[in-house]
Structure 1
Amino acid sequence: MEFKINKDNWKKVTLGDVVFEPKETAKNIIEEGFEHIVGLEHIESGDVHLRKSFSNDTDTTFTKVFRVGDILFGRRRAYLKKVAQASFDGVCSGDITVMRANDKLDVRLLPFVIHNDKFFDYAVKHSAGGLSPRVKFKDLANYEFLLPPKAQQAELANLLWAMDDVIEKDLEVLEKLEVLFQTKLKTLLMSESTTKLKEICNIKSGDTAPQDNGAFYDGEYPFVRMQHISTNIKGYTAAFDYLNEVGIKKLKLYPKNSILIPKSGESIRSENKVILDRDAYVVNHLAILYNFNINYNFKFIYYFLQRFKLSSLINQTSMPSLNLSEIGEINVPGLNYNKQEIIVRELDEIIEIKESSKSKLQSSKALQKSLINQMF
């Protein structure tokens, strides 16, 4: 979206003309009344809000003070784009630069002056160091941009914060949908009777991946590896490698709607599970659940496994692993098929709404970013 604005009366300034770095420090955090301690880990990339902190009883060496309205800029690894405006007073890490607006800049506009791609590019360019580059405020102070008159600053701040309100409401909707989804998932565990997973479906390991790269040349047959088992809002596989006729000669083909779960390596702890959206070949690091009993809906089993922690079955060895026999012993709620279908339909509907809401949130963020970049 192109944002039309007349900048004829805007003046070129440096960041140091309108922002300064306060040098206030705290000797005793509790005695001086500070309740929040902030490290880089508390600033979320791309979020102008400071939402997290340690409590003041946390053991810390931090002494740098920030106040309400100040900007906290992660000066270490500036490419992470960690910038947030404080809504409370506190003490922060030395890897955070505190910035405060002077009377030439509307404090509500400050986070958007900082939170734009040109500023981040400048900060990265002027960072020094190897593995953990840092940038100093004295270098950031030379950053140039066009600044509108004070009255117009207030108008632009109103516009940008109104856009931020839209984003916050989108986030609130997503959070409520997630709570609803998790509440519905819990109903899967509310059953007096259970059935062993091994009595509901076949459970097998996949096959060793072909070691000859030629097996993948000009391939057309989908092959699922461990890296393809990632979180997917609808639960289905979204990526594959592809084998040719030579590559599939000794491999077993598994049917669409089979459920795949990691059974070896640290990937088990990710708790990711996916459903095959087509017939496919599968690597041996994955377990495949397929040929489901007519009394069980495969999607119901998938949703049940979303609540079940596979990591609780890990054998205590140097390499985490799951035995197929242990997977088969998992107790699945013994709900009748009609009840299963109702639960699946309700969860599917929530996911559809979540996907739509997530798309709206992404559009709102893209619009906000476009507005900021065009202004400054």
Structure 2
Amino acid sequence: MSLGLDKSTWQRVTFGDVVRNVNETLKGAAAGAIDRVIAMEHMDPGELKIERWGDIADGTTFTRRVRPRQTLFGKRRAYQRKVAYAEFDAICSGDIYTFEADETRMLGEFLPFLVQSDPFFDHALDTSAGSLSPRTNWRDLADFEFELPPLDEQKRIADLLWAIERHRLQLAEMEEAVRSSLDVRLAELWVADSEMQPISGIGDCVTGSTPSKANASYWNSADVPFYTPSEIEHDTMHAARQRVSVAGAATGRALPEFAVAVACIGGDMGKSAVVREPGISNQQITSIVGLDEADAYLVQCLLAHPLGRQALEARETTTIVRKLNKSDLMKVQLPWPAERSVLRRLVTDKRVAVATLRSELDSLGRLRSAALAEVFGGN
């Protein structure tokens, strides 16, 4: 993709030439007229839209005023890439800068994409100071140099980037709607409390083990996937970061295709995913085996459902570290009607729909990155 940009008319400027760091503060009764509070945790990496916030009625020590059309930038741990575009009045954390464009030289709707660009973030990281919680300061950010298009070209670029952003948000909302519709149907099964089955009545369970690290021949290989909880992120197991030899895998317990891997210890406890490439896992994973593809994804959907996570947590061992033993996992009850054809089809349809939406989202992400790189460099 090419935007056909003619940069011969662009002007070299510094960030501080065309952007103000607005440090407007509100306290007491003046702050009481605003009901929303934005903290760093309310800003998501890579997301311009603020989807959640706190309530000022719950109390806050924040005093920095946020106005619509300002660009918010998280100055603490800039590597998190937290940038947002304000659409409402709020009070925000002192760890958030509120940038405002000089509209005679830069459009407010162009600014957030500049702040999201790789060169700006590289500059922010290079000028951050501190070890545990590095921060970048306004003085250094103001020195950032870049090429600024004329206002009419800024408008054309911003219109394109905002069109991509709006379409991306629409797709994300559609994905959430697809997931939510299935969650409602699964919740109905739990509420009905009919035809419940322990996992032991659905499949067999095997707990993983780690081949000896002392035997180099087990590990100097790319033969067999060795799964850990870090590969459990979505409904399907991510590609394993480590692999072992056939001999190393033979010392563990084989996970066939369509095994449902369940993380059973620590902060990852309860996460689950379906294995597509046969392999082995470490001892932090217990897997449900003996299922076909449709039933495997149905089990995974049930376990990932909030009520499924509650059922898992109800069986966990109360120790210093959260843990779910194999015997306790096998006792977890799931709704499992004898006639599952409709449920299986619903899960399959959801997976197809989500995969299609994710593919389009990925394409939009690449398009957006290419556009940002052409305008600002990097990305």
After TM superposition, the structure 1 = structure 2 runs for residues 137-286 of structure 1, keeping only pairs within 5 Å, are 137-189=138-190, 190=192, 192-207=194-209, 209-219=211-221, 222=224, 224-227=226-229, 229-233=231-235, 235-236=236-237, 238-239=239-240, 241-244=242-245, 246-248=247-249, 250-268=251-269, 271-286=270-285
Instruction: Report the equivalent of 1:358.
Output: 358
Give the counterpart of 1:330 among 329, 332, 335: 332
Q: Which amino acid aligns with 2:357?
A: S
Q: Which amino acid aligns with 1:318?
A: I
Give the counterpart of 1:304 among 281, 298, 302: 302
Report if aligned partners of 1:75, 1:96 keep a CA contact under 8 Å in 2.
Answer: yes
Q: Which amino acid aligns with 2:200?
A: K
- Corresponding residue SS for 2:24: coil
- Relative to the length of structure 2, the TM-score reads 0.86
TM-aligned CA distance change 1:222 to 1:184, over 3 Å: farther
Instruction: Report the equivalent of 2:288.
Output: 289
Separation (CA, whole Å) in 1 of partners of 2:56 and 2:210 = 53
- Corresponding residue SS for 2:22: coil
Instruction: Report the equivalent of 2:343.
Output: 343
Q: Which amino acid aligns with 2:175?
A: L
Structure 1 residue ranges without an equivalent (≥5): none
TM-aligned CA distance change 1:332 to 1:153, over 3 Å: closer
TM-aligned CA distance change 1:184 to 1:147, over 3 Å: same
After TM superposition, the structure 1 = structure 2 runs for residues 62-141 of structure 1, keeping only pairs within 5 Å, are 62-102=62-102, 103-141=104-142
Separation (CA, whole Å) in 2 of partners of 1:282 and 1:46 = 32
In the alignment of these two chains, the number of paired residues is: 369
Moved more, 3-12 or 254-263: 254-263
- Relative to the length of structure 1, the TM-score reads 0.87
Q: Which amino acid aligns with 1:95?
A: D
Q: Which amino acid aligns with 2:300?
A: Y
Report if aligned partners of 1:229, 1:273 keep a CA contact under 8 Å in 2.
Answer: no
Separation (CA, whole Å) in 2 of partners of 1:313 and 1:77 = 37
- Corresponding residue SS for 1:57: helix
Separation (CA, whole Å) in 1 of partners of 2:275 and 2:160 = 45
Q: Which amino acid aligns with 2:26?
A: A
- Corresponding residue SS for 2:224: strand
Moved more, 314-323 or 190-199: 190-199
TM-aligned CA distance change 1:56 to 1:2, over 3 Å: same
User: Per-residue displacement from partner, 1:168-197 (whole Å, max 9, x unpaired)?
Assistant: 222222121221232243354345233333
Separation (CA, whole Å) in 1 of partners of 2:5 and 2:115 = 19
Instruction: Report the equivalent of 1:2.
Output: 2
After TM superposition, the structure 1 = structure 2 runs for residues 46-57 of structure 1, keeping only pairs within 5 Å, are 46-57=46-57
Q: Which amino acid aligns with 1:88?
A: F
Separation (CA, whole Å) in 1 of partners of 2:321 and 2:245 = 31
Moved more, 215-224 or 119-128: 215-224
Separation (CA, whole Å) in 1 of partners of 2:336 and 2:51 = 42
Separation (CA, whole Å) in 2 of partners of 1:133 and 1:255 = 45
TM-aligned CA distance change 1:302 to 1:30, over 3 Å: same
Separation (CA, whole Å) in 2 of partners of 1:151 and 1:237 = 45
Give the counterpart of 1:321 among 311, 320, 323: 323
Instruction: Report the equivalent of 1:60.
Output: 60
Identity %: 25
Instruction: Report the equivalent of 1:37.
Output: 37
Instruction: Report the equivalent of 1:21.
Output: 21
TM-aligned CA distance change 1:241 to 1:94, over 3 Å: closer
**More helix by proportion, 1 or 2?**
2
